[in-house]
Structure 1
Amino acid sequence: MRKLLLVFSVGLFFAACSPNNVKENKALGKYFDSAGVKGTFALFDNGAGDFTIYNLNRYKDSAYSPASTFKVVHSLIALETGVVSDEKMAIQLDSAVTMENAFKNSIVPYYQEVARRIGKDTMQLWLDSLQYGNHTIGKSIDSFWLNNTIKLTPDEQLGIMKRLFFNQLPFQKRTHEIVKRMMLRESNANYQLSYKTGLTYKENGDLLGWVVGWIEENKHPYFFVLNVEGPSNIPMEETRISLLKKILSNQGFFEGKR
């Protein structure tokens, strides 16, 4: 494993921006209301340096379990340490599962085994060096990202996405590129949409959902984070993607005109 010599914070992304570049869009609340959830959404226009945010306080001040969005950093660490050779490397579960498949389909047992192979000390070293959220593993190396032990803010999530896209995290370029390939979910003449989802339960029993990533139009990246929560009977898997696409469409995406 490469030695980590510098502390590299992935957070405080919003804090580095001018308030003049932040637009609070309360009108986006109608999409959350119609879905029966509460939450926050942020979009960062990298070219203009502008933020569009719904529910600013939740975006910058509240921390949550990353759930399966942790697979982004988890994959970076696994690749960088050599625990996983590339996205095609399989681990035998009930059947052979590759990292690419486990990433896109959120197959938890694959990443639990990867976490055990990385080991607590090495994992902690990377989380400390990244200053990833509260960088707390607790007692369980194979579940800390699911059980509300480690937490981070939506702002920190957005910072990770931007730095991943531009190969600015403390990993080799090859490591960045493999994870970015796994994140690409839709690609056509108008746009390329890359994201990772997450789903878990909060301490109060509510469902917590994430979608983090970016959308590119005309070779221009826009970074986003969607954080939602609602009652346990909500079909959160479908709700979060539907909500994301409605908001992005409202912001003028998917037609190749941005």
Structure 2
Amino acid sequence: MPQSMIANIVARTSLVVLLFWPFPGAAVADTILDREQFTGDIGERQSSFLALDLTSGARCVLAGSDLETRHAPWSTFKIPNTLIALETGVAESIESWRDWDPKLRPAAHYWPDAWRQGQTLQSAFQRSAVWYFQDIAVEVGAPRYRDLLSDWEYGNADVPTGSDTFWLGGPLALSVTEHVHFLERLLTGALGVDDVHLEALTRVAAAGNLGAFKLYGKTGSGPAQAGQFSGSFEGWYAGWLGQDGKVAVVFAHHARGAHFSSIRSFRQDFAEVLLKACGYR
């Protein structure tokens, strides 16, 4: 992470505003991060962020965030899609291998070399290899996706019959709040996902450390206007923090910038800055 983005986090945290929001039971103090303290980091980008502490129920929000507008999940959909592949038996494990068929899945101009080869479920997740998950989408089928995503309260659960790209630009879409809600329910056991499959997801989503916490997550991005790769891009970083073998925090960061390079690193780097400003360090 650039040093300029992590400097003065402690000072920034001291400028946090505490508000009270209605939660069932006792009131819980939410942390609202003053956006003006991060103008140097955000620049001309749009940035919306929400974190939920699973122990206290407190939220940490970047002031001025749009938490309710829905956006395509892009490659963050690999979090539920990996679980769906395992839960339905389309993939037996994260080691399930698929050969790349360039005739069936011809490489687009933007494909990195790492996509242009066979993959396991784990490598496809970590390399964000789209074609592997397109194959999974065909085998799972729209009816099973719609049923599972509706049960999981994953955004609008909109999966058209016959589509193998429904998470890339839509019509599947969810808000920052819905993203966090899904991760909360998933990681607290409310969705009934097999523990073995959750452990597999934890392995593939591991992203290093954030201070005293283990960081897990997935990026995702795509052109804000379909097919306009030279224009503005939107993107996500969504995941969770673990400590002492337990999930402590779930979060989602949505960003938009003038081009892909403006959000490529920013999606995750700024999410980490905000998590530290929330007190998770």
TM-score (norm 2): 0.76
1:223 aligns with 2:250: yes
Structure 1 position 23, deviation (Å):
3.1
- The whole-number CA distance in structure 1 between the counterparts of 2:219 and 2:91 is 21
User: Does structure 1 retain, via aligned residues, the 8 Å contact 2:222–2:234?
Assistant: yes
Structure 1 position 76, deviation (Å):
1.1
Equivalent residue number for residue 80 of structure 1 = 87
- The whole-number CA distance in structure 2 between the counterparts of 1:32 and 1:141 is 40
Equivalent residue number for residue 42 of structure 1 = 50
| Among 221, 240, 253, the residue aligned to 2:267 | 240
RMSD across aligned positions (CA): 2.6
User: Does structure 2 retain, via aligned residues, the 8 Å contact 1:198–1:211?
Assistant: yes
Distance 1:110 1:44, change over 3 A: same
1:160 aligns with 2:182: yes
SS at 1:95 equivalent = coil
Looking at CA atoms only, which structure, 1 or 2, has the larger radius of gyration?
A: 2
Give the % identical residues. 23
Q: What amino acid does structure 1 have at the position aligned with 2:163? A: I
| Among 136, 140, 143, the residue aligned to 1:121 | 143
Distance 1:33 1:191, change over 3 A: closer
User: Does structure 2 retain, via aligned residues, the 8 Å contact 1:31–1:247?
Assistant: no
Distance 1:233 1:168, change over 3 A: closer
User: Does structure 1 retain, via aligned residues, the 8 Å contact 2:28–2:56?
Assistant: no
1:33-112 to structure 2, matched below 5 A, reads 34-55=42-63, 58-59=66-67, 61-93=68-100, 94-112=116-134
Equivalent residue number for residue 13 of structure 2 = none
- The whole-number CA distance in structure 2 between the counterparts of 1:120 and 1:224 is 27
1:201 aligns with 2:223: yes
- The whole-number CA distance in structure 1 between the counterparts of 2:149 and 2:280 is 34
1:169-180 to structure 2, matched below 5 A, reads 169-180=191-202
Distance 1:22 1:148, change over 3 A: same
Structure 1 position 69, deviation (Å):
0.8
User: Does structure 1 retain, via aligned residues, the 8 Å contact 2:215–2:242?
Assistant: yes
Distance 1:139 1:28, change over 3 A: farther
Structure 1 position 167, deviation (Å):
2.9
Structure 1 position 232, deviation (Å):
1.8
Distance 1:233 1:104, change over 3 A: closer
- The whole-number CA distance in structure 2 between the counterparts of 1:219 and 1:171 is 18
